[in-house]
Structure 1
Amino acid sequence: MSNIYPYRGSTAPATQQGAVLIVVLLFLVLIIMAGVIAVRQSTTDLRLSTSDQINTLLLQSADNANQNIEQSINNDSGSDIYKDMLSRSGPFGYFMLDKKGRNNEYVFCFRPRERFFDIGKATIRTPDGSSVVAGMTGYCNPTEPSDYISKRHASMTQVSVSMTPPSKTAESFANYTVGQDADKVSSLAFTFDINSTAVLPAYGDTKVGSKDCFAQTSRPSSSTDKTDTISGCLSSAGVPNTTLYQKVNVENQSMRNKCVNFGKGNGLNQDVLLCKLLVK
């Protein structure tokens, strides 16, 4: 009877099964790690995409308010919105015609689905946080459907208009319009700070404790506590917001148009000054 010798390159069955198990486990670990990395990357990309969409929406909402304000001043001077903006009760006329309140802020909620500005829905905010006219509120209210930009009730924008504080570096006589009489209000040029704050109230409560963020100032330099400013208060509450700042001049613009002489004369065309308030 001959002896049977095993092939030297062969492996015992038990050892062979253990090696396969180890290889399978290694591949399984690698697959799990690849899956975790892919999920994390997808989550990061989703957050970045969502953040970019939020920032775009807020920027468009704030810019829409500034564009409407500019158009209301630069377009038809006979329109109702033009008269409201420049009247003594309006956001610009209040500062231009009443010198007593030039340290205040004129606040209103931007409502483009109606006429975006309503004199009856505005607040003249004093530096101490009180209102000049009791009972009037121009602050945006997340529980009020008409205060939102659209019927989707996603974003709302609050506008604050205030006079730019005097500066030592300001140009001499920059507050006068060339070609106008210095003793008339129409000859003066006024510089304003417009802060349009767009907010997404659905992401959180717009209050910090008992403090209503919409009722806070838009001037960061006027407070050392960030929660005393509308943007800082909303950020502390975890509500996405963007404030778009714009510095504008409201003045009479001198435009020269040639006119034709009637009757006898030297035959030369004369220049006539046409003035209109504008924001630039």
Structure 2
Amino acid sequence: MSNIQQYQYPKVSPSSQQGAVLIVVLLFLILIILAGTIAVKQSTTDLRLATSDQINTLLLQSADNANQSIEQSVNGSNDDEIYDDMLSITGPFGHFILDPNSSEHEYVFCFRPRDRFFNINRTSIVTSGGTILSSGTGYCDPEEPDDYVSSRNASMTQVNISLTPPSAETEAFSSYTIGQDSGSVSSQAYMFEINNTAVLPAYADTTIGSKNCFEQTSRVDTVTDSEDTIGGCMAAAGVPSAVIYEQANVENLSQRTNCVEFGQGTGLLCTLPSN
């Protein structure tokens, strides 16, 4: 006789099966939500990176546009009115060349390419102590539509020009014309520091309390706190900005004397150094 034992398995009720399916569905929903959240964050990050890249490109173009306009005005024809304005005693370069007391000054104007990029009546000449010598106002103003680079009122660029301070690295007599000694020099080159600061005022306020960032200096060596410079102040205020720094040599040729040819006359001979 066979001895067969039968085992009774526990029966699973339909209600408990429905509960297990619900848990699985909830787990899938959680996974889908997590994947969607990660995708949204990734797309937001990509959008921010693209926007940041567009902002940087716009700021660099605005600042570089000012540099190109300045270079073209000085290197262009001396019959142009803009050439006379830039090199006159009230212009950004002529002020330093023709005024012997201007070594510590800073020349400021807002770049306005839609009209005439440099308006001689809208400039500021600032001393090292912060005193404004000019009657006009050269600082950019976010409330002034004409101060923006384009009619979209997106970006504006302020130009700060000053003489390059003396340095031990500067070559002795490097500003003198070759072939002339220091006692009879008739032409001298001046080295300028040009700081073009492009900003997007729509993103944040350009003031910190009572401090107007546009009124801060570009001469980093004259301050101890970075917020006292125009670039540092804009960064502290959260304003997107870009500063392009350029050194430029401008030579004063107004007093140059013609040199006589070799072996003729008794005037000043132009000779090149032997080494």
Residues 10, 250 of structure 1: CA spacing in aligned structure 2 closer, same or farther, 3 A cutoff?
farther
**Scaled by the length of structure 2, what TM-score is found?**
0.85
Residues 76, 181 of structure 1: CA spacing in aligned structure 2 closer, same or farther, 3 A cutoff?
farther
The residue identity in structure 2 corresponding to 1:251 is: E
Alignment deviations for residues 199-222 of structure 1 (CA, whole Å, 9 cap, x no partner) = 111112111111111111011221
Deviates more, 1:102-111 or 1:234-243: 234-243
Q: CA deviation at 1:12?
A: 3.3
Contact 1:154/1:200 (<8 A) preserved: yes
Unaligned runs of 5+ in 1: 254-272, 274-280
* Partner residue in 2 for 1:198: 198
Residues 43, 186 of structure 1: CA spacing in aligned structure 2 closer, same or farther, 3 A cutoff?
farther
Aligned counterparts of 1:115 and 1:138: Cα–Cα separation in 2 = 14
* Partner residue in 2 for 1:173: 173
Q: CA deviation at 1:98?
A: 0.8
* Partner residue in 2 for 1:89: 90
Contact 2:177/2:185 (<8 A) preserved: no
Residues 13, 114 of structure 1: CA spacing in aligned structure 2 closer, same or farther, 3 A cutoff?
same
* Residue 68 (structure 2) pairs with residue 67 (structure 1): yes
The residue identity in structure 2 corresponding to 1:241 is: S
Residues 78, 207 of structure 1: CA spacing in aligned structure 2 closer, same or farther, 3 A cutoff?
same
Contact 1:110/1:156 (<8 A) preserved: yes
Give the ranges of 4+ consecutive aligned residues of structure 1 lying more than 3 Å apart after TM superposition: 5-12, 179-186
* Secondary structure class of the residue paired with 2:175: coil
* Partner residue in 2 for 1:149: 149
CA RMSD, 1 decimal: 2.3
* Partner residue in 2 for 1:109: 110
* Secondary structure class of the residue paired with 1:101: coil
Unaligned runs of 5+ in 2: 1-5, 254-269, 271-275
Q: CA deviation at 1:178?
A: 2.2
Deviates more, 1:154-163 or 1:213-222: 213-222
Residues 185, 236 of structure 1: CA spacing in aligned structure 2 closer, same or farther, 3 A cutoff?
farther
Q: CA deviation at 1:224?
A: 1.2
* Partner residue in 1 for 2:260: none
* Secondary structure class of the residue paired with 2:101: helix
Residues 82, 8 of structure 1: CA spacing in aligned structure 2 closer, same or farther, 3 A cutoff?
same
**Scaled by the length of structure 1, what TM-score is found?**
0.83
Residues 8, 184 of structure 1: CA spacing in aligned structure 2 closer, same or farther, 3 A cutoff?
farther
Contact 1:175/1:188 (<8 A) preserved: yes
Q: CA deviation at 1:15?
A: 2.6
Q: CA deviation at 1:136?
A: 1.6
Contact 1:186/1:251 (<8 A) preserved: no
Residues 42, 11 of structure 1: CA spacing in aligned structure 2 closer, same or farther, 3 A cutoff?
same
Alignment deviations for residues 82-108 of structure 1 (CA, whole Å, 9 cap, x no partner) = 111111111001111111011110000
* Secondary structure class of the residue paired with 2:23: helix
Aligned counterparts of 1:139 and 1:227: Cα–Cα separation in 2 = 17
Aligned pairs, number? 249
* Partner residue in 2 for 1:277: none
Aligned counterparts of 1:146 and 1:185: Cα–Cα separation in 2 = 44
